[in-house]
Amino acid sequence: MSFATPLFLWFFVPVVLAAVLVAPRTRRNGVVAVASLFFYVSGAGGTTLLLLACMVVNYLAGLRLEPGSPRDRRGLLVGVIAFDLGVLLVWKYLGFATEQLRAIASVVGADLPVVHLALPIGISFYTFHHISYVVDVYRGERPALREPVAFVTYIAMFPQLVAGPIVRYREIADQLPQPRTHRLDDIAAGFPRFALGLCKKVIIADSLAPLVDACFATPADQMTTATAWLGAIGYTLQLYFDFSGYSDMAIGLGRMLGFRLPENFARPYSSVTVTEFWRRWHMSLSRWFRDYLYIPLGGNRHGVARTYRNLTVVFVLTGFWHGANWTFLVWGLFHGGLLVLERRFGWNSAPAARGRRIARRVLTMLLVVVGWVFFRAADLGSALVMIGHLFIPDFTGLTEAVAAAATNQRVVLLLVALVVVVLPDHPVTGPYLEASRDRVAATIRVSLMTVGVAYAAILVASGTFSPFLYYQF
């Protein structure tokens, strides 16, 4: 069940909110937990059993990680993390690994089978939630949850279950105990944020999707400079409005349920360095890797060489976390390499002069756009062909398929989206709408909740929406 479907918008959310409001304060986590499992079952089917098994293992491990000797606790922590990562590796990467082994074996004439497993929805996200839980309990940063319903609420909470934000346990632990307050004010505060995300997703991202798909589907012998730039820029905008739109919807839904979820985006395309970009893009993922991998590896505390190694390891894994494809590995290496270069030459701090800031912002945006081509392309060959045409002039125009997809409406929306992302880096729209009480914020909130939601609802009802891009991860 997607957030942008009639069933979710007009039936599921109203029923869940009403049930939470009328339930006793000691039963509200139960309502959220049951609703979340129903939400997941509706999309994941039989793979829900895998989620349940992982929850049982991590819940029981959490209870055992508080008492006992340091050696026993450490061994248990290593064991449960190995279990979580093993589940992720088998279901997400076994097929990719067997494909590579088959290709290698074919060189000597052997024919190995390829294993194909259905990818459980949201497995990358709930695996990271489980690891965050057991590590934070082991470190003593937060106590283990004794109440199973509260644990299910944290792991399976439907706003963030399948595509984030990645909520570290320490960030939400204090919000989980019952009795838990929940007021109409929470719904009033969360709905404008949800409306903002819905409009981003349905009106902008989904409208750009056919144009982007046509560009990236262009055969190599028909690729042109215009098609390459249109596809690269279009996907840069589509991905941002799709994923930040999902995050806004998740944060808004969480607030309507009485939870404060962490921010995930802060105008990333306004960054003047790639380092800054990763402080603004998918911030919950960056914080997770920082706290549970980069710092435990030593961070930047053990010399330049170790720092560069740690950055490279983190971004190789960041790439592969997104998917089992060489394109994601190259994308991760590309960004990791850029971060190392920025540190090596001192480019990771923003210049003070306005002219230099503008030039650095343009350069950073260009590098990010090139990276997104690897991220979106079906394979490395297709990515390299498109990137080559970005910089080798070929002004033969668009193919018929791309020209047909480039309708006036889509071109106008692409230009509007481009204007939005090149605005100054403050304010960040989502938090601004929630916190500000000035006239501009009030006008935007009213517009979103009336005209914006109405138009988005028409598009949803007409069936023009598409699944969120991060559902595949």
Q: Which pair of structure tokens corresponds to residue 131?
A: 């690891």
Percentage of residues in the chain with pLDDT exceeding 70? Answer: 98
The catalytic position among 182, 322, 335, 389 is 322
**Residue 140 φ/ψ region, left for φ over 0, alpha for ψ in the -120 to 50 degree band, beta for the rest:** left
Rounded Cα gap, residues 49 and 81, in angstroms: 19
Distance of CA 360 to the CA centre of its chain: 26
- pLDDT value at residue 351: 79
- Count of alpha carbons within 13 angstroms of residue 239, beta-carbon side: 20
Give me the pLDDT at residue 291, please: 94
Within 8 A by CB and 6+ apart from 40, the residues are: 48, 51, 121, 122, 156, 158, 161, 162
The two three-digit tokens of residue 189, written as one number:
């505060």
Hey, what are 50's tokens?
């895998």
| 179 to 137, 252, 258: CA distances (angstroms) | 22, 22, 12
Cβ proximity of 304 and 346 under 8 Å: no
C-alpha 270/C-alpha 249 separation (Å) is 22
Phi, psi of 309 (to 5 degrees): -60, -45
Which segments in the chain show pLDDT lower than 50? none
Give the up-direction half-sphere exposure of residue 3: CA atoms within 13 A in the CB hemisphere: 33
Q: Which residue has the tokens 């983190």?
A: 314
From residue 353, alpha-carbon distances to 75, 299, 359, 424, 427 in Å are: 52, 30, 10, 15, 21
* 322 included as an active-site residue: yes
What pLDDT is stored for residue 464 in this prediction? 66
As a whole number of angstroms, the distance between CA 137 and CA 293 comes to 16
Predicted TM-score of the model (pTM): 0.93
Quickly list DSSP for 393-448.
Answer: -------HHHHHH--HHHHHHHHHHHHHHTS-S-S-HHHHHHH--SHHHHHHHHHI
Which pLDDT belongs to residue 43? 85
C-alpha to C-alpha distances, 472 to 42, 118, 133, nearest whole angstrom: 16, 11, 23
Concatenated DSSP letters of 121-157? TTHHHHHHHHHHHHHHHHTTSSPPP--HHHHHHHHH-
pLDDT tens per residue across span 103-118: 888 877 777 888 888 8
Q: What is the pLDDT of residue 51?
A: 96
| Angle (CA) 4 9 10, round 5° | 145
